[in-house]
Amino acid sequence: MDKIERKKKFAEMVVSLPSFVWLAVFFAAPTLIVLSFTFHDHTANGGVAAAWSLATWRDLVNPDYPTIVWRTIRISLEVTAWCILLSLPCAYAIARLPKNIRAMVAGLIMLPFWTSFVVRVFAWKTMLHPDGFLQRCYYIFLDIRTWLFDWLPGFLQSFLCWLGLATPGAADPASATILDSELAVVLVSVYTFLPFAIMPIYTAAEKFDFALMEAARDLGAKGFYAFRKIFIPGVRQGIVSAILMVFIPAIGSYVIPQMLGGTNCVLIGNKIFMRAIQNRNIPHASALATVMALSVLVPIGAWVWWKSRQNAKDKKRLEEATRESILMGGAS
Amino acid sequence: MANDFLVFDRVTKRYGALTAVNDVSFTVNKGEFFSLLGPSGCGKTTLLRMLGGFERPDAGRIYLNGEDITDMPPNKRRVHTVFQNYALFPTMTIRDNIAFSLKLAKKPKAEIDENVEAMLEMIQLSEHAWKYPNQLSGGQKQRVAIARALVDRPQVLLLDEPLAALDLKLRQHMLLELDTIHDQVGITFLYVTHDQGEAMSLSDRIAVINKGKVEQLDQPAKIYEAPVSSFVAAFIGDTNFFEGVIESTDGDYCTIQVPGFGAIRAYNDKNLAATQKVHLSVRPEKIRVTSVPPPPEKGASINVFQAKVTDVVYQGVYTKYWVRCGDRSISSMKPHSRFLLDQEKITWNDRVYIWWHPDDAYMIENFSELDESLIQTPPTPPEDE
Ligand SMILES: Nc1ncnc2c1ncn2[C@@H]1O[C@H](COP(=O)(O)OP(=O)(O)OP(=O)(O)O)[C@@H](O)[C@H]1O
Ligand SMILES: [Mg+2]
């Protein structure tokens, strides 16, 4: 028995060794190297000094950084929220399709990946150009908004301004361009990451038992209520994966803000690039990368810890209840 | 019609070329335990789904409490379903599952708690209220599903083969429990099953359904004792069919000549005249099998035939005999009243007498040869020497 156990353990180790080595060499080691860079100063010719030093961390005190970190997190959260919001009904609709069409539609969602990501971002750049189609539509939208606003009674106008939903007077074309603004970054990020949100939610939705929706309707729930209270909790595993799949790359996003955000939407990814390549300050870039990684890992780690504690509690409760019922003679 | 509680009025439902429910009309009384009984695929679930609001009939109307509910969305109907696979919400505790409909109706919290506690008590699961559905046994899930559907007192409770997933012992137990619950709450139950035993033991009335049509609607005893068609006779319980021509009538009785078998005396409840064709159904338990002729005090008018035993199947409660008589195979069922091992045994190839009283045969109005396939056949093909 013991021997078999040991053999099993050994077999498990042998099987998992390659992936372990892979992770150690290509994930853990680089992370640690980056971390160690932050405790060295940089040299004038772009290298890393040999001596240990806290100079890099001292240099990190830069009034711009909190703004940029906060902007990165805020935009990532916005993008994540939009992606989840859009992919929930989408995944629901696909999962309800007849089985033979379902796989095809799910495949269509992956279709954009057949085109290079950079090419697609360039396409967006064209569409968002002041003479581009989307920008023209946006101008018309703004005109209509201004017209509607002027038409409103005065107290409603000031109320909307107070809420920050409107500004008096016609929008000036300069601040109404989408390109080189936060709006462009959010828009194209949502476009880019949406498939990563739809896929895990769709996978969960495919396993979801739609008879439960019928049961909810049967008990008096309207369609949307059933969607909210039964479908969304039912696919929460998929939603969690989707959040991670969107939020983590969004935090590290670099190409989209670089090409579409201009100077108005610099994110931490762009700053890291700037420090590493333009300023040739590898330790500084490493420190920024570490800050960025921690800003994602800490909340996620806290959540995982809280969740596992919750699960352990539930399990203990169930075990106690089972023991009790066995002691009581296994009634009911 | 408006005064009746639940009315199906000439309801038809088609799926493509297939007519799942064909011009069905029946009325359910308030507080009744009403069963829809029929073989797989006969349209029972389709009927329930139309009442629940999940399918629209192609023709006909459904009325509940005088109101036409045919086009009402499911959430507006005061009709709840106990689904065959329970459909409990896996992300909610038992308590939240049961409270679902009350929370939807925005009832005050005190009222919700009170009602949910009462339900939990009724299904004896108060101690498990905080558990999740996947932590319960099949029978417990079943009870939660019933409580969830009953808690806001619907006008009708629909049960779609609720016991099908349970094992035999649990099924028998839940059967009694369902009966008790029905008595307690006084709500109309519409029960779907293909198990005649379930339907017989629970229902006030049964609608036997075949190929999308109501074949017979009556009390359980009537359905069993006076089946209108060969389908009902063969589907509910087991039977022997005899086809013949009336030779003569005398008062309430008649003599029927059955080709390949002999002359049978039967009660002439349909008042048929001589030379008319007739189909008889004789239940196996009405036919006695003995190794000696029936005692003379049974009267001269009973039907007695000589036969040879081809098979004996011991079933604990009773023994089933298959006998060969003329060119027919006839089944008979004998309950074990005395200690079986003391009795003189009847075994294969024994020469026996089979006999039954003329009152024990029943004339079938609608006969279809197809239904003969529903009758049990001997476990082994009878050997002809
Ligand atoms: N959505 C559907 N599309 C096409 N045909 C259907 C559909 N639902 C049911 N049917 C057909 O309608 C007929 C009746 O089905 P129904 O589910 O009502 O049977 P049932 O009496 O409940 O049978 P069971 O005892 O097996 O549950 C069947 O032949 C079935 O194949
Ligand atoms: Mg069914």
- Full 3-state SS string of B307-328: EEEEEEEECCCEEEEEEEECCE
Cα–Cα distance for residue pair B351/B42, rounded to 1 Å: 42
Q: Please state, in angstroms and rounded to a whole number, the distance separating the CA atoms of residues B238 and B373.
A: 11
Pick the closest to residue B124 from B135, B140, B142 (CA basis): B140
Does A230 share its domain with A300? no
Nearest-neighbour CA in chain A from B91: distance (Å): 6
Which is the closest atom of ligand 1 to the Cα of B44? Answer: 21
Residue pair B136/B89 in contact by the 8 Å Cβ criterion: no
The letter for the amino acid at B318 is Y
Query: Cβ of B74 under 8 Å from any chain A Cβ?
Result: yes
Q: Give the residue from B242, B350, B348 showing the smallest Cα distance to B303.
A: B242
Total-model pTM? 0.81
Q: Are A183 and A138 in contact (CB under 8 A)?
A: no
> Cβ separation of A211 and B85 shorter than 8 Å?
yes
For residue A142, what are its two tokens? 């703004």
CB hemisphere CA count around A122 (13 angstroms): 5
One domain, residues A89 and A212: yes
Atom of ligand 1 nearest to the CA of B194: 25
- Quote the pLDDT of residue A1: 58
Q: CB–CB of A318 and B135 under 8 A? A: yes
- Pick out chain B residues at pLDDT < 70: 1-3, 338-343, 380-385
Atom of ligand 1 nearest to the CA of B13: 12
ipTM surpassing 0.85, yes or no?
no
Q: Which of A243, A264, A280 is the last residue of a domain?
A: A280
Closest CA to B215 of B201, B202, B197, B227: B227
Domain of residue A250, residue span:
63-128+178-280
Please report residues of A whose CB lies closer than 8 A to that of B149: 218-219
pLDDT(A316) > 60: yes
Chain centroid to Cα B35, Å, comes to: 7
Look-up of token digits 């209520």: A225
Task: Give yes or no for a contact between B105 and A299, defined as CB atoms under 8 angstroms apart.
Answer: no
Burial B164-195 (b: 16+ CB within 10 A, else e): eebeeebbeebbebbeebbeebebbbbbbbbe
Q: Is residue A323, in this structure, part of any structural domain at all?
A: yes
Q: Kindly report the backbone phi and psi dihedral angles of residue B103, in degrees, each rounded to the nearest multiple of 5, phi listed first.
A: -65, -40
Distance, in Å, from the CA atom of A284 to the CA atom of B360, rounded to the nearest integer, reads 101
Place of tokens 């030379």: B275
B151 touches chain A (CB under 8 A): no
Residues A293 and A246 in one domain: no
Q: What is the CA radius of gyration of chain A?
A: 26
pLDDT at B385: 47
Residue closest by Cα to atom 18 of ligand 1:
B43
pLDDT of residue B343: 64
A103 and A247 co-located in one domain: yes
Alpha helices in A46-111 (DSSP H): 55-59, 64-96, 99-109
B258 in Cβ contact with B327 (< 8 Å): no
Q: With beta carbons under 8 A apart, name residues in chain B contacting A209.
A: 87
- The neighbour count for residue A319, using CB atoms within 10 Å, is 10
Tokens representing B353 are 């007498």
What is the DSSP secondary structure assignment for residue A113, as one 8-state letter?
A: G
Phi, psi torsion values for A302, nearest 5 degrees = -60, -40
E strands within chain A?
40-42, 48-52
Break chain B into its structural domains and give their ranges.
6-225, 238-374
B15 lines ligand 1 (CB under 6 A): yes
Distance CA A154, CA A231 (A): 43
Can you tell me the distance from the alpha carbon of A2 to that of A8, in angstroms, rounded to the nearest whole number? Answer: 10
Q: How many CB atoms lie within 10 A of CB B297?
A: 5
Q: In terms of domains, do A301 and A242 share one?
A: no
What mean pLDDT is reported for chain A? 88
- What is the CB neighbour count within 10 angstroms for residue B289? 24
Please report residues of B whose CB lies closer than 8 A to that of A318.
131, 135
Buried b (16+ CB within 10 A) or exposed e, B135-157: bbeebbbbbbbbbbbbbbebbbb
Nearest Cβ partner for B75 among A220, A230, A233: A220
Judge: B91–A215 Cβ closer than 8 Å, yes or no. Answer: no
Instruction: Tell me if the domain spanning B238-374 has CATH number 2.40.50.100.
Output: yes
- Does A80 share its domain with A226? yes
Tokens of B215: 């074949």
Q: What is the residue with the minimal CA distance to atom 4 of ligand 1?
A: B15
User: Are residues A205 and A89 part of one domain?
Assistant: yes
How many domains is chain A built from?
A: 2
CB contact under 8 A, A215 and B89: yes
Is residue A144 a part of any domain in this protein? no
Question: What is the distance in A from the centroid of ligand 1 to the CA of B46?
Answer: 6
Asked whether residue A176 carries a pLDDT value surpassing 90, the answer given is no
* Per-residue pLDDT at B51: 95
Same domain, A116 and A256: yes
pLDDT at position A330 is: 45
- pLDDT the model gives residue B383: 55
Residue B45, ligand 1, Cβ within 6 A? yes
Residues A147-163: pLDDT tens digits? 888 888 888 888 888 87
Whether A276 and A301 share a structural domain: no
- Report which protein residue has its CA nearest ligand 1's atom 5: B15
Domain B6-225 has CATH 3.40.50.300: yes
Minimum mean pLDDT range among A77-91, A220-234, A279-293, B339-353: B339-353
Q: Which ligand is nearest to the CA of B213?
A: 1
Structure letter (DSSP) for residue A171 = P
> Which residues is A231 bridged to in the sheet?
none
Give me the phi and psi of A268, to 5 degrees please.
-65, -30
Distance CA A157, CA A155 (A): 5
Place of tokens 């992770």: A23
Residues B152 and B116: their CA atoms lie apart, in Å, by: 9
Phi, psi of B185 (to 5 degrees): -90, -25
**Per-residue 3-state assignment (H helix, E strand, C coil) for chain B:** CCCCCEEEEEEEEEECCEEEEEEEEEEECCCCEEEEECCCCCCHHHHHHHHHCCCCCCEEEEEECCEECCCCCHHHCCEEEECCCCCCCCCCCHHHHHHHHHHHCCCCHHHHHHHHHHHHHHCCCHHHCCCCHHHCCHHHHHHHHHHHHHCCCCCEEEEECCCCCCCHHHHHHHHHHHHHHHHHHCCEEEEEECCHHHHHHHCCEEEEEECCEEEEEECHHHHHHCCCEHHHHHHCCCCEEEEEEEEEEECCEEEEEECCCEEEEEECCCCCCCCCEEEEEECHHHCEEECCCCCHHHCCCCEEEEEEEEEEEECCCEEEEEEEECCEEEEEEEECCCCHHHCCCCCCCCEEEEEECHHHEEEECECCHHHHHHCCCCCCCCCCC
In a shared domain, residues A52 and A185:
no
CA B129 to chain centroid, in Å, comes to: 34
CB contact under 8 A, B81 and A230: no
Residues A183 and A251 occupy one common structural domain: yes
- Give residue B334's pLDDT: 87
Q: Is any atom of ligand 1 closer than 6 Å to the C-beta of B212? A: no
Closest CA to A248 of A294, A205, A204: A294
With pLDDT > 90 as the criterion, what percentage of chain A qualifies? 50
**Residue A153: what pLDDT?**
83
- Does residue A280 sit in helix, strand or coil? coil
User: Of B356, B373, B231, B351, whose CA–CA distance to B284 is shortest?
Assistant: B356
Counting one residue from chain A and one from chain B, the pairs whose CB atoms sit within 8 A come to: 69
Distance of alpha carbon B201 from alpha carbon A243, whole angstroms: 54
Which ligand is in closest contact with the Cα of B47? 1
Helix axes A64-96, A182-207, angle to 10 degrees: 40
pLDDT at A169: 63
Which chain B residues contact residue A214 at CB under 8 A?
A: 54, 74, 83, 87
β-bridge pairing B67-68 and B328-335: unpaired
User: Both A183 and A246 in a single domain?
Assistant: yes
Please count the residues of chain B.
Answer: 385
